[in-house]
Amino acid sequence: MNIIMVGCGKVGYSLVEQLSKEDHNITVIDEDAEEIRNITNNLDALGIVGNAVSFTTLQEADVAHADLLIAVTGSDEQNLLCCLIAKRSGHCKTIARVRNPLYVSEIEFLKKGFDLGMIINPEFEAANEIARIFQFPSAVKVDTFARGHVDMLHIKLTQDSPLNGLRIMDIRSTLHTSILICSVTRDGHTRIPNGGFVLQEGDEIGFTARRKETTAFLRKIGLSKNRIDNAIIAGGSKIAFYLARLLMLSGINTTIIEQKRERCEQLAELLPDVAVIHGDATDQNLLLQENVSTTAGFAALTGLDEENILLSLYVKGINPAAKVITKINRITFSDVINQMNLDTIINPQVITADFISRFVRSMDNTDSEVENLYKLADGQAEALEFVIKEDSNATNTPLAELSLKDNLLICCIYRNGQIIFPTGQDCLKVGDSVVVVLSGFRISDIKGILKD
């Protein structure tokens, strides 16, 4: 697929890095020559120095033969205008990054008016992910499928976990619970386990279950934390605004600590039910004054990765029971960061790349559509949700009779409001939402689950 990427900042770089691994032809456009050199020297992409709002620049990028244009500059308006000109100049689909909270309630109008394939708001999506994790504070990560009806939770096993040393096939009889373990990450490597796989301390497992059974399972393995009832947010960024609004709507008491007075005034006006504190979140006395030692949830969302890491380590040190979220933009030192034993790390660029990868994989499919896509363990595995639109070789045949690829697991089927954890006698049908976890390869449609 021929893709034009407009904007070579952190988001643009992450997107090119991920999409180039999937064998797409990518041309990047940016007015900063140094940014262009950085991305073309390190990644498989062509570069053009220029303003993508210019028709001449888009012609130079061969917009007439492009399949997709993604605009992720720092200006919402420039992104929208660039997409509009691209649509008029060629026949490509377009994606615009739109971050300003002013436009949140107008997304559908903008999408229709500018004929956009997708509008992406990294900060809003990151806030949604944090809010989901605060619903299940025992989890490291929560992926949601079937429009909120199915959750895949990722938890880390401790030494005293009843799962430690247990074979996966013995979980149901030992704990009397119906969960399906979909992935296990151990020592930095992710695999799709079989029934004989033995779990051990330090494993990060991903599992699916009905919500009621999820709560019961977490309780049985000693992770029975309920949804948090209060939270402190360090930093008054866009993510902080979106998150505070989501938590407020969920009835969670929320406090934001922000250093800039003008931003505090804006947030206080926009979020009347949220306590906005003017101060430095790295001031230990202020944190203690705001009861950080007893808070149920803490999100470090300042603009500095180092500050977020230090804040998270400090809060976890004085309040081990708190659920602590750490926003990190740079992922170049992921190995070092992973050794710090942080609760949950959020990276808006990675979240954005997942959303756009989902859209890209859906563009050429006819029999199924990628509804959701989540990267697991730095991209070593993927969890995908397909909506089956028409019959194929993968439908209407018992799963036991299909020749499924190795390192692949069909986790669940959502059909007519019912969640099905499939056995070998179940079949895939048109209209199903199907959640698949796989490792070592990529697929773009439901037929991809079958061996060639």
334 and 419 in a single domain? The answer is no
Q: What is the pLDDT of residue 211?
A: 76
CATH number at residue 361: 3.30.70.1450
Q: Are 319 and 295 in contact (CB under 8 A)?
A: yes
379 and 397 in a single domain? The answer is yes
Alpha carbon distance 347, 186 (integer Å): 21
114 and 131 in a single domain? The answer is no
Alpha carbon distance 405, 257 (integer Å): 50
Q: What is the pLDDT of residue 131?
A: 94
Residue 100 amino acid letter: N
Last residue of a domain, one of 168, 192, 220: 220
Nearest to 324 by CA among 177, 97, 138, 75: 138
65 domain-assigned = yes
CATH number at residue 298: 3.40.50.720
234 and 341 in a single domain? The answer is yes
Nearest to 58 by CA among 88, 32, 17: 88
- How far from the centroid of its chain's Cα atoms is residue 302's Cα? 19
Q: Strands, DSSP E only, in 105-260?
A: 118-120, 141-145, 150-156, 180-186, 189-191, 204-209, 230-234, 253-258
Last residue of a domain, one of 329, 346, 363: 346
Q: Are 4 and 67 in contact (CB under 8 A)?
A: no
Over the stretch 35-62, which tens digit does the pLDDT of each residue have? Answer: 999 999 999 999 999 999 999 999 999 9
Q: What is the pLDDT of residue 338?
A: 66
Q: What is the pLDDT of residue 212?
A: 78
190 domain-assigned = yes
Q: What is the pLDDT of residue 368?
A: 61
Structural domain that includes position 10: 2-120
Alpha carbon distance 181, 115 (integer Å): 41
288 and 395 in a single domain? The answer is no
35 and 54 in a single domain? The answer is yes
Q: What is the pLDDT of residue 301?
A: 97
197 and 234 in a single domain? The answer is no
53 domain-assigned = yes
225 domain-assigned = no
Last residue of a domain, one of 195, 220, 245: 220
Over the stretch 336-353, which tens digit does the pLDDT of each residue have? Answer: 676 677 889 998 888 888
The number of folded domains in the chain is 4
18 and 100 in a single domain? The answer is yes
355 and 334 in a single domain? The answer is no
Task: Please tell me what DSSP assigns to residue 279.
Answer: S
Alpha carbon distance 265, 269 (integer Å): 6
Nearest to 20 by CA among 334, 360, 447: 360
Q: What is the pLDDT of residue 70?
A: 96
φ/ψ of 200, rounded to 5, equals -150, 165
Residues 6+ apart with CB under 8 A from 124: 99, 104, 238, 242
338 and 356 in a single domain? The answer is no
363 domain-assigned = yes
In angstroms, the first-to-last Cα distance of the chain is: 22
306 and 331 in a single domain? The answer is yes
Q: What is the pLDDT of residue 101?
A: 84
Residues 6+ apart with CB under 8 A from 189: 377, 380
Q: Tell me the pLDDT of the chain (452 aa) as tens digits.
A: 899 999 998 888 888 988 888 889 999 999 999 999 999 999 999 999 999 999 999 999 999 999 999 999 999 999 999 999 999 888 899 999 998 888 888 888 999 888 898 999 989 999 999 999 998 898 888 888 888 888 899 999 988 899 999 999 999 889 888 889 999 999 888 889 988 999 999 999 999 988 778 888 888 898 866 789 999 999 999 999 999 999 999 999 999 999 999 999 999 999 999 999 999 999 999 999 999 999 999 999 999 999 999 999 999 999 999 999 999 987 666 666 766 778 899 988 888 888 888 888 777 655 667 888 888 877 788 899 999 999 999 999 999 999 999 999 999 999 998 999 898 999 999 999 999 999 988 888 899 999 97
Nearest to 222 by CA among 166, 157, 271, 147: 157
88 and 8 in a single domain? The answer is yes
